[in-house]
Amino acid sequence: MLALGAVSLLSLVSAQPHRRRHVHEHQNEKKDSNVVVVVDTVYAVAEAPEVVVYVDNDGNPVQTSTIGTVATPVVYSHGALSTILPTSSSIPPPAPTSTSTTASTSTSAVAVSSSAAAIAGVAQAVESVASAVAPAASSSEASGYGVSYSAYKANGDCKTQDDVNEDVAGFGGAYSLVRIYGTACNQVATVLQAAQNHGLKVFAGVSDLSTLNSEIATIVSAANGDWSSFDTIAIGNELVNSGAASASDVVAALSTARGLLKTAGYTGHIVTVDTLAATLNYPTLADNSDYAAVNCHPFFDPNTPPSGAGSFIKTQMALLRAKLANPSQEIVITETGYPYDGDSNGEAVPTLANQAIALSSIQSTLSSAVIFLSAYDDAWKTNSAGTFGAETYWGKGGAQAPSG
């Protein structure tokens, strides 16, 4: 299962996982004007060698490595761009013609004293808490991997049913689930039909809390009483990370959505999706979801090479598990991947070869319950320095949508 075991009871250094903002949908709905400024803790570094201890799913130390820094906390406001580290967020979607993006970096590990005695202490501490944070068995209806998909043409126009059918057919049986982010362009109905034609589950989404009721009504209408093809409905994507809503607002929206969807006969999973960083800061987002739904991108950590993509995610999941109210709650990586073009971010270098290495690392580390970004390049998006000029290059193998 995805969720990792224990973390050390000794000195835990948790830098915020790098956050960036992918744009997934048209801004064709009214946005909330009450922007919340999110204050996060990141870590500046001071020289002093440390040993990093990595643990496996059973809480057993499996690898150690020495690093030359100790992290010390520095508080910055997510709303300000003049920060210690570059910032980025992933929020539900601005217009494809104009995107504002930022980026942030992070490293994360269980850091302890470099002495042999301290390392032994970590192993003992990990063993003592392993049972409390053991991974959960999957409760998700879909098995295997999922993939995200946007029903927009390169010029931003809506795709037709025939277009969506052609694109979903192009998945070629590689996935068991398709994720969409909102309800614009009649995409719930068109993607649902195409998914049913190929035996795929649908991960649907509400993009904006201010249009919660109408978006749920759109999803209910598309289902038309048959919920058998829906795996999950997400209420918001990275709203807290972006500052578009507070954690309490999102939790309240989850409660409202549950009532509306229950009345409509839906009994599947209901979650809110946010970055792993935001969920670490506000674990109530996961605690009030049917499973912990988090987006995590190794590319945005400058210290992680493509070959370390899987272990990066695994480490972040271990940090999150330690903060969950229910340590056995399922954790699903609802968005991850690797670009094949754009600018380098430290050791994260976007090439086709590196994309293949990173995706292989993720797949070999996390066997299921992972949704990849993206089925195809999203040419309708806008590249920016904040996302290292890579926003349009996340299609697996550089794949372009068959329908254009």
Nearest residue to 200 via CA among 159, 142, 148, 152: 142
In the 3-class helix/strand/coil scheme, how is the chain assigned residue by residue? Answer: CCCCCCCCCCCCEECCCCCECCCCCCCCCCCCCCCCCCEEEEEEEEEEEEEEEEECCCCCEEEEEEEEEEEEEEEEECCCCCCCCCCECCCCCCCCCCCCCCECCCCEECEECCCHHHHHHHHHHHHHHHHHHCCCCCCCCCCCCEEECCCECCCCCECCHHHHHHHHHCCCCCCCEEECCCCHHHHHHHHHHHHHHCCCEEEEEECCHHHHHHHHHHHHHHHCCCCCCEEEEEEEECHHHHCCCCHHHHHHHHHHHHHHHHHCCCCCEEEEEEEHHHHHHCCHHHHCCCCEEEECCHHHCCCCCHHHHHHHHHHHHHHHHCCCCCCCCCEEEEEEECCCCCCCECCECCCHHHHHHHHHHHHHHCCCCEEEECCCCCCCCCCCHHHCCCCCCCCHHHCCCCCC
**312, 317, 318, 322 alpha-carbon torsion, rounded to 10°:** 150
57 φ/ψ angles, rounded to the nearest 5 degrees: -60, -25
Site of tokens 């993509």: 309
| From 25, 215, 335, 391, the catalytic residue | 335
Phi-psi region of 13 (alpha: psi -120 to 50; beta: other; left: phi over 0): beta
Active site residue 238: no
Tell me how far apart the alpha carbons of residues 172 and 7 are, in angstroms, rounded to a whole number.
39
Nearest residue to 11 via CA among 109, 107, 134: 109
Nearest residue to 371 via CA among 100, 181, 103, 89: 181
Q: Could you list the active site residues?
A: 335
